[in-house]
Structure 1
Amino acid sequence: MSQAAAIAQALVAAGLEPGQRVAVMGSGVLALLGWMGTLLAGGVELPIHPDLRGLPLRHAFETGRPMAMIADCGLIEHLEETPIPSHLFVHGRPADMVPRPGAQDLEPLLMAEASGPPERVILPSFPAAVLFTSGTSGPAKGALLPHRQLCMVADQVVEMTGLNAGDIVYCAYPLNHVAGKYMCVFAAMSMGARVVVEKRFDPGVWLSRIRQYRATLSMAHGPMLEMIHAQPETPHDGTHELRRMMCCPLPRAIGAAFERRFNLTGIEMWGMTEIGNPLWTRRDEPRPAGSCGRLLSDWYDMAICDPQTDEPVPQGKVGEILVRPKRSFTSLLGYLGQPEATLASWRNLWFHSGDLAYADDQGNVFYVDRLGDRIRRRAENISSTDIESAALHAPGVAEAAAVGVPSGFEGDDDIKLFVVPQAGARLDPEAVLRHMAKMLPHYMLPRYIEMLAALPRTPTNKVRKKLLRETAPGAKEWDRRRAGLRVETLYPRS
């Protein structure tokens, strides 16, 4: 805590006022110290995925407008086209590297004795973080979340998993993610438990890490679980101390087999960055196959409604999940700089999730699908606009439309990009992809690229993405996996 207090003192000395934002771009201990230091200083954390670059990175900074930034030195090169804050704190600068003008090395601060955190009044209603989440259209939205909501997220994990001081929590999520920072790390901290934070998820080493660190509780989204389950079986699959796994979701096709193989109990939930996790299965009750849980009725009201009318649908019928909190300051304060989007999401005083589901007579909810054009890939919500913007920067591209197509993992997408060449241009899909890799993180790169003479449009000129999603692959569809192009080769190691 003394190191976090030292960062807080440095931020205040740099002029940070309560409520101003601080960008934190790194992983592991640096990300945690930057988070805690920002909050101790009364600031609002703007956590940035360490792989973010190009247009999405610039959008995050232009939306968040941070007053200061804490960053790993190796990630600074991603900021070439990004408005860097005037106060930059850098970690890990090599001794032979010339420091950036105005940048301050973090190491001397972390080695010095801090007198304690600065005196700040911080109320539960105050904003604590801006987390980016994508919707059905436009670039990612910055959800401004209050302290009480993020404490609630951790409290719900403790209540629904039985997390206690004797647990060891294994976290393989990036720390700009609710799951990683608040459901794993913060929940563990709140109970005095230990936590293991990986820099990246790797299904090939997951079991060995669980055994090495004697983890007792962990979390994974559905595609991560399927990747783990696809690993070759070993005699050690069930010989570890992990007994509870938070799953979002536990894929129906492998769920029972996964639990048997790894000798654990899956605890499913459904939630969103903006509202927390209203639905959970109960660890001490039989779990209905395919259900994402029942409502935490002490915290929320919920309705399943017709997406067009907001009228409740009959039991067992599919509708949109609508949620509203029962306690103050336990949901987002708004989308940063987007009042219209905030109002639209809270239409008729309910938060509209954009997710379709139905409920049975016991209140168990079963997720069905998503509304709109959101792309969900490997636990990341991705804005199709970011992908299309990068494609349109590639030479010879006149139009572009990105959609999600089934990846083979439950509730997960591969990305398909449709492009229309400029008149007379001959596009090479690999060249387009390589150009996009300069502007996008790896998880936003399309797997498929297909050339079209024109994009299908409505009479009002909107791209008909539903039609594109349902279109069978054409003769001109290019598949980077079939072409033998590995994504990691597109990103030089720093």
Structure 2
Amino acid sequence: MGSLDTLDGRPIEDVTIDSMLRDRAERIPSETALIYGPDDRHVTYRELDTTANRIANGLQELGVEHGSNVSLMAAHPLKTLFGMFGINKAGGVYSPINFEYEGETLSYQLNDTDPDVLVLEDRYLERIEAVRTDLETAPELVVIETTTETPETSLETTAFADLRDEPADDPNVTVSWDDTASIVYTSGTTGMPKGVVIPHRWIFANYIAPKRAFLGSEDVVHTSLPLYHIGGVYADVVAGLMAGGSVALWDRFSPQEFWDRIAEYDATSATLISVMMPWLLNAPETDSDHRNTLSKVHMQPLPEEYEAMAERFGFDVVTVAFAQTETGSPIVGVIRTDDHGGTPEDYRIGYTPDEVEERARELNLPVVEGIDEERYMGRVREDIVDVAVLDTRGREVGPGEVGELCVRPKQPGLLLKRYHAKPNRTLQAMENLWFHTGDAAYRDDAGNYYFVDRLGDVIRRRGENISSMQIQDAVATHEQVEAAAVFPIPAPEGGEDRIGLAVEPRADVDITPASIATHLDGRLPEFMHPDETYIVDEIPTTETNKMRKVELREQLLE
């Protein structure tokens, strides 16, 4: 078994979140694990492990045991990670909540998860108060103080600070790599969000395994991604700690401060999502743009200008992937981009491009070159999954033909376990023993895969996939609305979709876009509010009463 198949002498499939942190704290206790950039707060592996132990012991006092669901709603990344590691150390299941949720979106997720404990920042207490009568059960509340004065509440709460005063002894809960590590919710592009039940094995042997090709103990991972999605919490944070490196945490992406932040901690790796890349590429160019330490970059999705970005900013290696909460990263591409010089030698930290390529091949990761088509996703990781593009009858289509991308694992625990509390949706997604991703794609003769679109309606904004149905359902609760249709207004290359809303009012009613906007306040988070609202006489439908959204959008946007 090669060195990349093991971690600390154990098969990588056997590693769990809690055991990884425990081992790191024993081997490199004084090395920096986390940095919270805004406060220049450095946390060693020993401190992170000890803090997680204290929180775990406190959670156990509140009744958390092996397999208990614990929800966490926090914007502060460092406190989020203290909570997450504490939950996993207690044997619990980390279930993060988008901290912008409120109203129906918040109560829906809480009712679906049914957590024993909800850990949340004090600034969100009022939102819990507002939906408390809609909750089927009342979880124990643990409040993280973020302000000088915690808001008054009639709810019984425990202070997060009290948990951190618990004994530092490791709770030593036995956790298996096939146990559930987290329940992470999808964005709900085909209905209400579904909780994806993720085992520890999925994290280490599937999703973040490609990071082992280029992350080592010298690396610093830069991230400003939210930790309620798998990209930020696992592909950035856990991958960086697995390598024994450091992770620099920031509250949010700032195009103006991005390169200063990279320089402040000599960051070597980062994930750039679609909304970030145009900001960086369109900034005024200078002769020294390439003189930085950022050498290994994951781009999601791969933009048409990836080579221009790599040349300008001195990236050695660019990676791309198809990734979902359910599937991990079954399709990956490792692209060397150092043919124009790459990272200057006096700035390069960690593995060289040759070493990255060698390690990638040892991990059976596809190393590709000459990518010139849009929406490229990579090639199949044939050692862990089978991938096929299937038609509507479940038959595989040929190269160049568009169908639904479907994935099948070659080992247990490499895809989702199930959708939480949704057995029928799980069976539907696993039809014919293939996981159906809901994405349209095609492959070429060389085995490269390309993304086409979601099979259903989807709006992409601020890194979120927004379900049109969620917005429509909220609008439909307005007493003057007969019907509502939500659709994306496509943005220029690299931009964000805008949200279009068509409203058909009830008969003899005078409704305005302003009244719709007021109605949605408190029901939906701000990023889900429509940008353009159109009042129409009638929303066109099919004979089976399904909305003709394509026709409607063409009428409104022509």
Match of 1:105 among 154, 159, 162: 159
In the alignment, structure 1 residue 23 sits paired with structure 2 residue 71: yes
1:420: which partner in 2?
Answer: 504
Counterpart pick for 2:381 among 296, 317, 342: 296
CA distance in 1, matches of 2:509, 2:465: 32
Q: CA deviation at 1:389?
A: 2.2
Output one character per residue of 1:355-382: Cα deviation in whole Å (capped at 9) or x when no partner. 1222222211122222112333232122
Amino acid at match of 1:40: K
Q: Give the deviation of 1:154 after TM superposition.
A: 5.2
**Aligned partner letter, 1:29:** L
- CA distance, structure 1, for counterparts of residue 458 and residue 67 of structure 2: 30
Deviation at 1:148, TM superposition (A): 1.0
Matches within 5 A, 1:257-296: 257-264=308-315, 265-284=317-336, 285-290=368-373, 291-296=376-381
Matched ranges for 1:70-469 at <5 A: 70-79=119-128, 80-82=130-132, 83=135, 85-92=138-145, 94-95=148-149, 97-98=151-152, 100-110=154-164, 112=165, 114-153=167-206, 155-160=208-213, 162-252=214-304, 254-264=305-315, 265-284=317-336, 285-290=368-373, 291-306=376-391, 308-394=392-478, 396-410=480-494, 413-469=497-553
Compute the displacement of 1:227 (Å): 3.0
Change in 2 beyond 3 A, CA 1:260/1:169? same
CA distance 1:106–1:59, change in 2 (3 Å): same
Whether 1:45 and 2:94 are equivalent positions in the alignment is yes
What residue identity is the alignment partner of 2:234? Answer: Y
| Alpha-carbon distance in 1 for matches of 2:557, 2:139 | 48
Q: Distance in 1 between matches of 2:431 and 2:307?
A: 38
Q: CA deviation at 1:100?
A: 4.7
Moved more, 345-354 or 194-203: 194-203
Structure 1 residue 471: Cα displacement: 3.8
Hey, what's the Cα distance between the residues in 1 that align with 2:254 and 2:479?
35
Alpha-carbon distance in 1 for matches of 2:282, 2:321:
23
Shift of 1:405: 2.7
- For 2:552 and 2:320, how far apart are their aligned partners in 1? 32
**CA 1:469–1:410 in structure 2 vs 1: closer, same or farther (change >3 Å)?**
farther
User: The residue matched to 1:164 in structure 2 has which SS?
Assistant: coil
Structure 1, unpaired ranges of 5+: 475-494
Structure 1 residue 403 displacement after superposition: 1.6
Cα distance between partner residues in 2 of 1:81 and 1:409: 39
Q: Residue 281 of structure 1 aligns to which amino acid in structure 2?
A: G
Could you tell me whether the CA contact under 8 Å between 1:225 and 1:250 is conserved in 2?
A: no
Q: Confirm or deny: 8 A CA contact 1:221 1:249 kept in the other structure.
A: yes
Aligned to 1:492: none
TM-fit CA distance, 1:467: 3.0
Letter of the 1:289 partner, please give it.
D
Residues 195 and 399 from structure 1, CA distance in 2 versus in 1: closer, same or farther, beyond 3 angstroms? Answer: same
Q: In structure 2, how many angstroms separate the alpha carbons of the residues matched to 1:350 and 1:457? A: 32
| 2:346 aligned residue | none
Residues 156-185 of structure 1, C-alpha deviation per residue, up to 9 Å, x if partnerless?
A: 23234x111111101111000110000000
- Over 3 Å counting, the alpha-carbon distance change for 1:137 and 1:447 in structure 2 is same
Q: How many residues align?
A: 470
CA contact (8 A) 1:134 1:374 kept: no
Shift of 1:433: 2.1
Q: Secondary structure of the residue that 1:281 maps to in structure 2?
A: strand
- Could you tell me which runs of 5 or more consecutive residues in structure 2 were left unpaired when the two chains were aligned: 1-48, 337-367
SS in 1 for 2:185: strand
Residue 491 of structure 1 is matched in structure 2 by none
1:127, 1:441 → 2: CA distance?
29
Q: TM-score, normalized by length of structure 1? A: 0.90
CA shift for structure 1 position 135:
4.6
TM-score by length of 2: 0.80
Cα 1:138/1:154, change in 2 over 3 Å: closer
Structure 2 equivalent of residue 490 of structure 1: none
Pick the aligned partner of 1:5 from 53, 59, 62.
53
Letter in 2 for 1:203: P
Partner SS state of residue 275, structure 2: helix
CA contact (8 A) 1:403 1:468 kept: no
Contact 2:56–2:89 (CA<8 Å) still a contact in 1?
yes
For 1:154 and 1:459, how far apart are their aligned partners in 2?
Answer: 43
Once the two structures are TM-superposed, the CA of residue 139 in structure 1 deviates from its matched residue by 1.0
Matched-pair contact (CA < 8 Å) for 1:69–1:85: no
Identical amino acids, percent of aligned pairs = 32
Is the deviation greater in 165-174 or in 451-460?
451-460
> How far apart, in 1, do the equivalents of 2:175 and 2:553 lie?
47
Does structure 2 conserve the Cα–Cα contact (< 8 Å) formed by 1:223 and 1:409?
Answer: no
Kindly state the Cα deviation for residue 315 of structure 1 after the two structures are TM-superposed: 1.6
After TM superposition, where is structure 1 displaced by more than 4 Å over at least 4 residues in a row?
95-100
